[in-house]
Amino acid sequence: MKSYLAAAVQMTSVPRLDANLAQAEDLIQLAVNRGAELVSLPENFSFLGDEEAKRLQAAEIAEQSEKFLKTMAQRYQITILGGGFPVPATPGKFYNTALLVGPQGEELARYHKIHLFDVNLPDGNTYQESDSVVAGKELPPVYRSETLGNLGLSVCYDVRFPELYRHLSQNGANVLFIPAAFTAFTGKDHWQVLIQARAIENTCYVIAAAQVGTHHLRRQSHGHAMIVDPWGTILADAGNTPGVAIADIQPARLEQVRRQMPSLQHIIWSCTVPQ
């Protein structure tokens, strides 16, 4: 693993595939121009709109999203994560899929989101992701790169399930992707603290791409795409407008934190309950 620059992209995606891909390319180019070698796009980067419209267009969105990621990776010679886009699964439903692509346009890892956002929020909004999305059946993979580190995948709502990230860190991850489209209501209270918690408890870097602003009449996202180091320090924050958060990923810093705070070595997986 070497030192390198990573970028967490922040977008305001809308219900238009072509417009979203154009916006994503502009932000990827911005990140590359600033030296980024590893780039993450947020959840729903290629389409954020009505779920029925997404369902009807899922096959096209999937095809164009995958083609786009491979083209961008090759064109800019980067490793890129497409944080979440629909891939047809069963009739009328799709997976929420994260795809990691290497500089030659090759697929490196794929993950179908396993935790679906089915909630009734205090602000009156109800989200029922399972109405249109099929939950993945496998825990996310860790892609091992000699240059970029061991990259663990996840998507948005996964961030509330620490056991998933413990799985990733125990399988060698030292850089965690958490691409998201966090709601404005939950994001203001939970986004930053959850990102920092996942970094601290696993002594990993976290690259958290995000959606921001108003996407359509009923959907608004929190923003604040960020990169956090293994101590929980926020290295970059994209704020509340489209843009990129860029920061150094440093193996020396990773080793320092894990040496000073060796909590991963102190995990107790079982114990005897007193009788």
Averaged pLDDT for residues 201-225: 93
Q: How far is CA 225 from the centre of its chain?
A: 10
For the chain, how many structural domains are there in total?
1
Average pLDDT score over the chain? 95
Do the domain assignments include residue 119? Answer: yes
Model confidence at 273, in pLDDT bands (50, 70, 90)?
low
Rounded to 5 degrees, φ, ψ at 148 are: -105, -10
- Considering only 9-18, 50-59, 152-161, which range has the smallest mean pLDDT? 50-59
Do the domain assignments include residue 271? Answer: no
Do the domain assignments include residue 85? Answer: yes
Do the domain assignments include residue 110? Answer: yes
Do the domain assignments include residue 268? Answer: no
Averaged pLDDT for residues 69-81: 98
pLDDT value of residue 69 = 98
% of the chain surpassing 70 pLDDT = 98
Do the domain assignments include residue 197? Answer: yes
pLDDT value of residue 256 = 98
Give pLDDT tens digits for 171-190: 999 999 999 999 999 999 99
Helix axes 17-33, 51-76, angle to 10 degrees: 30
**238: domain range?**
4-262
What is the domain-level CATH number for residue 41?
3.60.110.10
Averaged pLDDT for residues 91-98: 95
Do the domain assignments include residue 275? Answer: no
pLDDT value of residue 203 = 98
**CA atoms of 92 and 94, how far apart (whole Å):** 7
Do the domain assignments include residue 274? Answer: no
Task: Give catalytic residue positions.
Answer: 43, 113, 156
